[in-house]
Structure formats: structure tokens, C-alpha cells
């Protein structure tokens, strides 16, 4: 068992070692590397920073992707697209919930609903668009894509 004097000696040695390390070139090199890494991350974040977009811009950007998904589904399954809805609503404090409901009719006339969901950061949208989403939970029609 260690005596109190042994504990004090060890404590003094550890304290001295830590003090020496704080003053060492190694720690300064590590600090410099961390600082450079933080600057690099800040630069990358700034370079790829996006300006908020309107709801209309989002719809324009997502429309071709939705059309492509509908066409692919219709090619893989013997169904006809009937269109659908794109629904926006608040999800959490920092997220928007987007639900895409697409409707299809199969060869027997049965209606099939295929839904997908996505969550996006609220920061993606302009203040005006975000207010519209939060107040009205807008629903946009999806027309069947043209062949």
C-alpha cells in the first residue's frame, strides 16, 4: 500500500510531467495542427454553404427526380401513373417532413398508393417559404409524367 508521502511524490511527478507537457513543442505542434484543421473545416463549410431556396425552387429541382421515379416504377410494374401529392409539414424544431404519395392503377383496375418520406433541415428554405410550410402544410399535386 502507498503511504501518503508516496502519493504526494507521485502527484508531484505527474503534475510536473503535465506542466512540462503543456510547455512542450509536441503540444504546440498538436495545437497548431488542430487550429489548421479547424480553419480548413471552416473554409470547406463556407465554400459549400448554400443560400436558402424558395418552396418553388425546391419543387422545380425535385420534379424531374419524381417524374423519373414514377417512370421507372411504371416500367418495372404493369401499372399506369395517376399522379399524386407532395406534402410539406413541420417535423421537429429543425426539420421539415416531406411526404410523396404516388398513385397507380394496375391491370385489374386496383389503385396502388406508394409513399416515400424525407426530412430536410429547415435552414434549406427561405424565411417566407418556411413560414408557409409551418402555417399551411402545403400540398402540391404531382401530375403523371409525360412519356
**Number of domains making up the chain:** 2
Same domain, 132 and 70: yes
Tell whether 127 is covered by a domain: yes
| Same structural domain, 130 and 83 | yes
Residues 30 and 92 in one domain: no
- Both 41 and 88 in a single domain? no
- How far apart are alpha carbons 54 and 94 in whole angstroms? 17
In a domain, 105, yes or no: yes
Determine, yes or no, domain membership for 16: yes
pLDDT digits (tens, 9 = 90+) for 73-118: 999 988 999 999 999 999 988 999 999 999 999 999 999 999 999 9
Instruction: Based on the fold, state whether residues 74 and 25 are members of the same structural domain.
Output: no
Q: Residues 61, 43: one domain?
A: no
| Structural domain includes residue 147 | no
Determine the Cα–Cα distance for residues 142 and 72; give it in Å rounded to an integer.
Answer: 16
Same domain, 138 and 77: yes
Do 118 and 72 share a structural domain? yes
Give the tens place of pLDDT for each residue, 130-143: 999 999 999 999 99
Q: Is the pLDDT of residue 10 over 60?
A: no
Range of the domain at 112: 55-142
Mean pLDDT over all residues of the chain? 83
Pair 38, 73 in one domain:
no
Amino acid at each position: 500500500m502507498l503511504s501518503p508521502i508516496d502519493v504526494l511524490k507521485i502527484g508531484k511527478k505527474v503534475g510536473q510531467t503535465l506542466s512540462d507537457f503543456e510547455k512542450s513543442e509536441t503540444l504546440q505542434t498538436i495545437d497548431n495542427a488542430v487550429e489548421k484543421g479547424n480553419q480548413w473545416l471552416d473554409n470547406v463549410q463556407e465554400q459549400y454553404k448554400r443560400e436558402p431556396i424558395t418552396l418553388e425552387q425546391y419543387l422545380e429541382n425535385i420534379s424531374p427526380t419524381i417524374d423519373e421515379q414514377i417512370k421507372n416504377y411504371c416500367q418495372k410494374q404493369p401499372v399506369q401513373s395517376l399522379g399524386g401529392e407532395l406534402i410539406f409539414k413541420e417535423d421537429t424544431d429543425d426539420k421539415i417532413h416531406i411526404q410523396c404519395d404516388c398513385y397507380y392503377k394496375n391491370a385489374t383496375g386496383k389503385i396502388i398508393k406508394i409513399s416515400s418520406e424525407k426530412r430536410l433541415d429547415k435552414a434549406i428554405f427561405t424565411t417566407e417559404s418556411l413560414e408557409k410550410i409551418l402555417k399551411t402544410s402545403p400540398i402540391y399535386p404531382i401530375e403523371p409524367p409525360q412519356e
